[in-house]
Structure 1
Amino acid sequence: MGSPQIKGYTIESEIGSGSAGVVYLAIQNKGPRCALKVFNSMSSNPGLLSDRIGRVIKAGAQDVVLPIIAQELEARPAWVAMELLADDGEEEGPVTAKTLQSSFKRYLQNDSTCPFLQALASALAKLHSANVAHGNLKPGNIFLGQNGRPLLADFASGLMPGVHRLNYSDALLYSPPEQLRSRDGYEGEAGYRWDVYAFGVLAYRLLNGAFPRADKLFQWLCPSPGENQRLDIDADHEGIAAGLEQQGQVLWSDEAAHEKERAFRKVIDSCLELDPRMRPLNMREVAQKFGVIEVESAQ
């Protein structure tokens, strides 16, 4: 099957595919190269995404998302052109996106971990202040900007209302059981607590080197650090949800390296509550708690 024809763009190659569509390396009107995402109509909700992009722009929160150059979400196929943030800017050879997934080991269990988590919490808090829940958080959807600043991508995608078919994505490993079982809460308040849980999973994994629950299964299901995806797995939402619920309490494999990390872990534990009512309301609350910890640790 050939590449799609998108007016004004010349597609050079495929960068990668995900649960909602395919990302291409493209040139816009002989300008700089960009990342062009073309959506699968059955695996996406372009109307929902368009609304959320509008909210981000209206709130002035563009600085925490991967820059969007252009979009045609009412077209068939729907598409979004984004800034190309990649390690390889040469004309030849494969393009590797600058994401947390491709640089996972750089932030794994070292002095960079807590500062990165603070920056990520702040970015998600600003997104939530724009009345946008991400809903699709995973390492491959967190791009690394200047000085490693996290930029959020692929929000309002994946397990969303109005999506009729969804292939496996490792975002499922960061999703809480209630999202895996029902997508309907996204447009209400539930989506914010989905993000709180997903952040907790990611934070635990970076600090502890493992998933907080169902680690043996999830390590097998997730792509290895530096790889983008697994293509040989069925999207068993109920099976993943059940696997999470088999382990209620979250345990840490070692002692915190210092008092600041110990305080961070308490916040992360609250993010990982299986009962969404027990989690922080949104990432603004999480970021505020991290801010208090930062001030207290500096005294």
Structure 2
Amino acid sequence: ALPISIEGGQKDPTTLAFAALSAYRRGEMKDAAQWAKESLEKDGKGPWSSLADSVEHLTEDNVGKLRLTRPKPSTLPGGEDPTPGAVGPKLFPKGVAVSEPLKGVGGLLADAKAAYGVQDFAQVEKLASTVLFSDANNFEALRLRALAQTRAGRYGPALEDAVRGLALKPDAPDLLGAQAVTAGRSGDFATARAAALALLAADPQSAAGLRLLAFANAGLRDRAAMTAALERAAALDAANGELLRRARSLPEDGDLLSLFTDGYLLGDRTAAPLKDSPRGGLAKTLLGVGGGVLAGLALALAALAALKRRRAAAAEGALDLAMFKPDAMRAAAVAGDPPQVGPYKVLGKLGTGGMGVVYKAEDTKLGRTVALKRLRPEIAGEPREHARFLKEARIVSALDHPGIVHIYSVQEAPEGDYLVFEFVEGSTLAELVAARGRLPLAEARSLIAQAADAVAYAHAQGVVHRDLKPSNIMVDRRGRVRVMDFGVARAEKEALSRLTGAETSSGSPPYIAPEQAEGRTTPACDVYALGVCLYELLSGRTPFSGTAGAMHMAKRAGKFPPLGSPVDAVIARALDPDPARRYASPRELAAALGVVPA
């Protein structure tokens, strides 16, 4: 599909970057190098520039002998010709597929394990999700999906699956590791520390547990505890010695978290973060390409490097087991949850997502229940980003519409700032679909119309949501739709992107418009996202799936599985690749949906 798009004249930087990756995977180094170079020439700082840079680097002479032996297929597996709308395995065949007819649970899980073995994390997630659709408490499916999502950098969903799996098997070591990584990457370092301590309670000589404990202590800004954990880890495994050296040489005001890559935390046997290529960003891209061959190659190279370095090391004394007792672990888990934030009495944790921790609290002055969201420490500690984020919060707090969850204020506290939100009891649209499956057209129409009205109001105030999806749209106890996270989640994500250098685009890949993935955001992006939400409410699935690149190409082609009803025409216009051809506003979309016969 990608070479066809290139030959057809579609040469935007994103298409070129993913075409380069696709060519590299087939061993077509000349095309890969050319398309990567063209992508960088067109936009050297765009959302996918690191991907193009990595492909270009991997096709240079110094790694010219690293070739994939897969023969170039004239057709895709099953005899299908590649088409511009192909997604998932059809776009990037990986050699691991579910045999037809559809296998039972055992076969699906076996295929998922095989896919995990070749770093095909998107396939693992797909297969595990199929199992969980019929058996929501299948431990092995939860375990595999959590690990795959963690590897792919999908920390929010991975953390949810890890918690669900640990409820079934509290001592599962790989899920404790996934929980530590994903909770830490979500800003909840107290939970990360508790998970690491649980690993060490089961095995005090666990190098993995010590690595994760060091990471959590870094997030808690406890440099001494971090260094102590790394010293013990280095005593158990010499591969940790280089990271210990770097930690000791880091300036007092240095960023402790910069020491820890996901590859290191997940046990990919690297002594420390891989060094960047001369152009920068290679290791980061290799480990974060979403489970493609570049990630697998990075892990293989890391394993080879570690084998050359690794030597047996004698343990230096016994660990203090008192700190790993259950009571101590529970205390560590609670330590990060403040009992009081200003006038707000914390009642409990509502959830931990990719952008932080949210608490339920009581406003002791006004006698109302609120939600508190703790600002990520990386942002709170950087004055420019902190000021920029608070400015965005002030803009959003001015939105006054019954369909928008309000921001009341910002509350300062010793451990950081908190955003104070209106507390809404109810269910998200994502929860509704998960519980009930497909919704009737009449109900979906009402829900989308209410959300569209709230979004249209925000547009009139100059605010674009940028991350509309079912999990950001609630239905309260009175049946009213309430839209959440206007601008705030996006502002936080972009701030983290600037601070860490990570290549991220605002929004969630299945829901964002193609131009948003390319770095251009307008109100038409919210219309597109509402169209995706409508499709999901009516079908129980999103119209696009697979890797981010696969979804982008399918969106650019305007191809999605039709529902076989008159509503298809409404969805097709909302999802038009050209923003100018979509509905002019969310209310126009709602009006068109309103005349579709139920």
RMSD across aligned C-alpha pairs, in angstroms? 3.3
Correspondence for 2:362: 27
Q: Could you tell me how far 1:71 is from its partner in structure 2?
A: 3.1
- The answer on whether the counterparts of 1:34 and 1:82 sit within 8 Å (CA) in structure 2 is yes
Q: Could you tell me how far 1:171 is from its partner in structure 2?
A: 3.1
Q: Which string of whole-angstrom CA distances, capped at 9 and with x for unpartnered residues, describes residues 4-39 of structure 1?
A: 563111223211122322111112227333211122
Identity %: 26
- Among 110, 116, 119, the residue aligned to 2:450: 119
Aligned equivalents of 1:159, 1:176: Cα separation in 2: 15
Q: Could you tell me how far 1:129 is from its partner in structure 2?
A: 2.3
Correspondence for 1:197: 528
Aligned equivalents of 2:414, 2:515: Cα separation in 1: 32
Q: Could you tell me how far 1:137 is from its partner in structure 2?
A: 1.1
- Among 343, 348, 353, the residue aligned to 1:18: 353
Q: Could you tell me how far 1:146 is from its partner in structure 2?
A: 4.5
Q: Which string of whole-angstrom CA distances, capped at 9 and with x for unpartnered residues, describes residues 241-289 of structure 1?
A: 4433146233444422xxxxx1x43222111122333323332332343
Q: Which string of whole-angstrom CA distances, capped at 9 and with x for unpartnered residues, describes residues 109-154 of structure 1?
A: 3242222222222222222223221112121211212542211111
Q: Which string of whole-angstrom CA distances, capped at 9 and with x for unpartnered residues, describes residues 69-103 of structure 1?
A: 4334999833222232235xxxxxxxxxx222222
- Among 98, 102, 118, the residue aligned to 2:431: 102
Aligned equivalents of 2:412, 2:548: Cα separation in 1: 31
SS of structure 1 residue aligned to 2:558: coil
* 1:144-293 superposed matches below 5 A: 144-160=475-491, 162-165=494-497, 171-182=508-519, 185=520, 190-214=521-545, 217=546, 239-246=547-554, 248-256=557-565, 262=566, 264-291=567-594, 293=595
Correspondence for 1:233: none
SS of structure 1 residue aligned to 2:454: helix
1:243 counterpart letter in structure 2: M
Correspondence for 2:376: 40
Matched, 1:63 2:402: yes
2:559 counterpart letter in structure 1: V
- The answer on whether the counterparts of 2:350 and 2:359 sit within 8 Å (CA) in structure 1 is yes
Aligned equivalents of 2:585, 2:417: Cα separation in 1: 30
Aligned equivalents of 2:359, 2:394: Cα separation in 1: 20
- The answer on whether the counterparts of 1:196 and 1:271 sit within 8 Å (CA) in structure 2 is yes
Q: Name the CA shift for 1:147/1:136 in 2 (closer, same or farther; >3 Å).
A: same
Which one has a larger percent strand, Structure 1 or Structure 2?
1
- The answer on whether the counterparts of 2:437 and 2:540 sit within 8 Å (CA) in structure 1 is no
Q: Which string of whole-angstrom CA distances, capped at 9 and with x for unpartnered residues, describes residues 45-76 of structure 1?
A: 3322321322x1xxxx3211124343349998
Greater relative contact order (Cα < 8 A, sep 6+): 1
- The answer on whether the counterparts of 1:113 and 1:206 sit within 8 Å (CA) in structure 2 is yes
SS of structure 1 residue aligned to 2:465: coil
Q: Name the CA shift for 1:47/1:20 in 2 (closer, same or farther; >3 Å).
A: farther
Q: Name the CA shift for 1:112/1:246 in 2 (closer, same or farther; >3 Å).
A: closer
Aligned equivalents of 1:73, 1:196: Cα separation in 2: 36
Q: Name the CA shift for 1:121/1:134 in 2 (closer, same or farther; >3 Å).
A: same
Q: Name the CA shift for 1:136/1:77 in 2 (closer, same or farther; >3 Å).
A: farther
Across the two proteins, how many residue pairs are aligned to each other?
A: 245
Aligned equivalents of 1:102, 1:254: Cα separation in 2: 21
- The answer on whether the counterparts of 1:107 and 1:116 sit within 8 Å (CA) in structure 2 is no
2:407 counterpart letter in structure 1: I
- The answer on whether the counterparts of 1:66 and 1:143 sit within 8 Å (CA) in structure 2 is no
- The answer on whether the counterparts of 2:429 and 2:474 sit within 8 Å (CA) in structure 1 is yes
Aligned equivalents of 2:414, 2:459: Cα separation in 1: 28
Q: Name the CA shift for 1:20/1:240 in 2 (closer, same or farther; >3 Å).
A: same
Q: Name the CA shift for 1:199/1:163 in 2 (closer, same or farther; >3 Å).
A: same
- The answer on whether the counterparts of 2:558 and 2:575 sit within 8 Å (CA) in structure 1 is no
Correspondence for 1:3: 337
Larger Rg belongs to = 2
- The answer on whether the counterparts of 1:125 and 1:287 sit within 8 Å (CA) in structure 2 is no
1:71 counterpart letter in structure 2: V
Q: Which runs of 5+ in 1 are unaligned?
A: 88-97, 218-238, 257-261
Aligned equivalents of 1:113, 1:107: Cα separation in 2: 12
- The answer on whether the counterparts of 2:345 and 2:363 sit within 8 Å (CA) in structure 1 is yes
